[in-house]
């Protein structure tokens, strides 16, 4: 059966609540085949495709689309297999989940070390519920924020994210938290430590803490050390004269009081860093159990198997890429990504935008969180002059969580499918959150899908392979960063 590993046979629009019990039953034949092949077939993350019923394409069924692109898609997958283990390809996010779980000679995994550091920071002060403020921008922010959102809102400690540079936002942010500066802890996330927005926030909060402790009667040096105890720093593992690692050292308790054994892995770009140290530290600090984090990472590692497989009919990443390339070839050039539910709100939208726009470097992508977006985007989307321009990706939770949610998302999917290609991504839920296995499978599959989209686009247009895939690079970001360097009329002074 087509898509039987990662795709159930239901269509979200047609499943009624009374049929929910059937969704949990995997046919014996399919289940046996799944267990023999991979471990990610328990339908935690599923996907479905529909072709438009009115604006007809040259194919009536999606398996015909897959068959048409099969040869090219296999070549794209083989290219990915030839690159992801090599240094300098910025594809080490593939092996990252397994690396975080692998124990050293002492039986301690890097995840164990991350959780230990999160517990240390949270226990340094008398108030164990002390919130965490994450200082980072771009992938250093959106990945951790989205990962945290998906795990739900039943948290032991609040987590806030700050990335502004103006004093008014700084003042109002502190008011928003409702805590004094002395009652906050901080995670600084920057590979080099020189990214202006993050460095500015780091120095600003650290200075405020130092001034607070001076006002309490401490000497300047003692106040600085007291302020440092509020910070964990996640940066490049390799120390140089210029980067932050070189300034703070590499071992906790040496020269200063920062927690500083977190690091950003080499060859892992920010938007692909969902499972790097910063994201896992945020989960652990907030109170997400180590066992839950392990489930996420194991599922992501298992998802690698299907996403690196040349069995195209069972590869979610390459099928998502085929859907995108095919839609564009039929004139449905604009991708509308819709997230249905608060667990995806804000962070999911920003992560998806960055992943798509920085990787594929075009602006055929719009995103919204539904149902809100249905009330500001629908008129434009469903205007007769636009209904042959979009293809739609709907990311939803298991539709049978409620009768209304099932019918609502089903109605929207059916309406889109009248005139546009539709991909529905379905994530399983558990305890009022996205199921850990669904998180790992979904995120890793979307990473692969993004890379495969770029490769497949080039292949169908006769392009050649570059030395490094442009989907993992971001050269244009440096164009504005260079404006801030010393000697420029726009030179900036962080922390002022």
The answer to whether the CB of 216 falls within 8 A of the CB of 152 is no
Calculate the alpha carbon distances from 150 to 30, 220, 281, 462 in Å: 29, 42, 15, 39
Helices (H) and strands (E) in the chain, counts: 18, 12
DSSP bridge pairs for 303: none
Q: How many CB atoms lie within 10 A of CB 192?
A: 15
DSSP run (H or E) holding 302? helix 290-307
Which residues pair with residue 429 across a beta bridge? 434
- Which residue, among 110, 137, 44, has the nearest Cα to 444 in the 3D structure? 44
Q: Pairing between strand 231-236 and 185-189?
A: parallel
Task: Say what the pLDDT of residue 42 is.
Answer: 52
SS3 49: strand
Query: Using an 8 Å Cβ cutoff, are 296 and 148 in contact?
Result: no
What the block records as the tokens of 492 is 């900036």
Q: Is 169 exposed, middle or buried (0-12, 13-18, 19+ CB in 10 A)?
A: middle
According to the model, what pLDDT value does residue 43 have? 67
The torsion defined by the Cα of 246, 251, 255 and 259, in degrees rounded to 10, comes to: 100
CB-CB neighbours of 39 under 10 Å? 15
Q: For 99-146, give the secondary structure using H, E and C.
A: HHHCECCCCCEHHHHHHHHHHHHHCCCCCCCCCEEEECCCHHHHHHHH
- pLDDT the model gives residue 194: 86
Q: Please count the residues of the chain.
A: 496
First to last CA, the chain: 62
Question: 10 Å Cβ neighbour count for 104?
Answer: 10
The residues with which 321 forms a beta bridge, in sequence order, are none
Helix orientation angle between 436-460 and 290-307, rounded to the nearest 10 degrees: 30
Instruction: Mark the ranges of the chain whose per-residue pLDDT is less than 50.
Output: 1-41
Distance CA 6, CA 175 (A): 46
Judge contact between 154 and 201, C-beta under 8 A.
no
pLDDT of residue 17: 36
Spatial distance between the Cα atoms of 391 and 50, rounded to a whole number of angstroms:
10
Q: Report the chain's mean pLDDT, rounded to a whole number.
A: 89
Fold of 96-293: Rossmann fold (3.40.50)
**SS3 of residue 161 by DSSP:** strand
Span(s) in the chain for CATH 3.40.50.10490 = 12-84+308-471, 96-293
Identify whether the C-beta of residue 377 lies closer than 8 Å to the C-beta of residue 366: yes
Gap between the Cα atoms of 50 and 327, Å rounded: 11
Rg (CA), the chain: 23
CATH of domain 12-84+308-471: 3.40.50.10490
How many alpha carbons lie under 13 Å from residue 346 in its C-beta half-sphere? 12
pTM, two decimals, is 0.91
- The strand order across the sheet containing 159-162 reads 159-162, 132-135, 185-189, 231-236, 259-264
Instruction: Kindly report whether the peptide bond that precedes residue 268 is cis, defined as omega within 30 degrees of 0.
Output: no
The three-state secondary structure class of 232 is strand
The pLDDT score that the predictor gives to residue 176 is: 94
């Amino acid at each position: 059966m087509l898509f039987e590993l990662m795709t159930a046979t239901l269509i979200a629009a047609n499943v009624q609540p009374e049929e929910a019990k059937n969704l949990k039953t995997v046919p014996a034949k399919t289940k046996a085949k799944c267990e023999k092949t991979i471990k990610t077939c328990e339908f935690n993350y599923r996907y479905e495709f529909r072709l438009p019923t009115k604006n007809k394409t040259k194919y009536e069924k999606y398996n015909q689309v897959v068959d048409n692109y099969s040869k090219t898609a296999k070549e794209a997958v083989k290219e990915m297999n030839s690159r992801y283990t090599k240094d300098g390809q910025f594809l080490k996010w593939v092996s990252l989940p397994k690396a975080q779980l692998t124990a050293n000679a002492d039986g301690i995994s890097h995840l164990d070390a991350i959780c230990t550091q999160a517990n240390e920071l949270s226990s340094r002060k008398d108030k164990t519920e002390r919130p965490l403020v994450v200082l980072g921008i771009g992938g250093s922010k959106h990945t951790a924020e989205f990962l945290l959102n998906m795990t739900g809102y039943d948290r032991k400690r609040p987590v806030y994210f700050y990335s502004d540079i103006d004093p008014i936002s700084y003042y109002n942010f502190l008011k928003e938290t409702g805590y004094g500066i002395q009652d906050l802890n901080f995670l600084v996330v920057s590979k080099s430590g020189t990214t202006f927005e993050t460095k500015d926030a780091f120095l600003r909060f650290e200075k405020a803490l130092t001034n607070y402790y001076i006002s309490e009667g401490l000497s300047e040096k003692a106040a600085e050390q007291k302020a440092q105890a509020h910070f964990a720093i996640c940066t490049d593992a390799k120390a140089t004269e210029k980067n932050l690692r070189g300034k703070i050292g590499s071992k906790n308790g040496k020269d200063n009081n920062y927690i500083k054994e977190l690091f950003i892995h080499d060859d892992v770009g920010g938007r692909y860093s969902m499972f790097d140290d910063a994201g896992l530290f945020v989960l652990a600090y907030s109170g997400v159990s180590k066992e839950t984090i392990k489930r996420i990472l194991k599922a992501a590692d298992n998802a690698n198997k299907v996403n690196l497989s040349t069995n195209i009919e069972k590869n979610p990443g390459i099928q998502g890429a085929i859907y995108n390339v095919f839609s564009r070839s039929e004139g449905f050039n604009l991708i509308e990504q819709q997230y249905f539910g608060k667990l995806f709100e804000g962070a999911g939208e920003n992560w998806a935008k960055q992943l798509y726009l920085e990787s594929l470097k075009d602006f055929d992508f719009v995103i919204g969180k539904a149902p809100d977006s249905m009330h500001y985007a629908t008129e434009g989307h469903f205007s007769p002059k636009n209904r042959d321009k979009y293809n739609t990706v709907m990311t939803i939770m298991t539709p049978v969580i409620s009768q209304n949610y099932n019918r609502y998302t089903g109605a929207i999917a059916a309406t889109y499918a009248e005139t546009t290609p539709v991909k529905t991504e379905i994530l399983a839920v558990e305890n009022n959150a996205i199921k850990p296995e669904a998180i790992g499978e979904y995120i890793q599959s979307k990473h692969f899908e993004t890379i495969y989209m770029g490769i497949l686009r080039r292949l169908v247009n006769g392009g050649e392979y570059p030395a490094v895939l442009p989907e993992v690079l971001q050269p244009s970001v440096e164009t504005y960063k260079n404006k801030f360097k010393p000697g420029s009329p726009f030179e900036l002074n962080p922390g002022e």
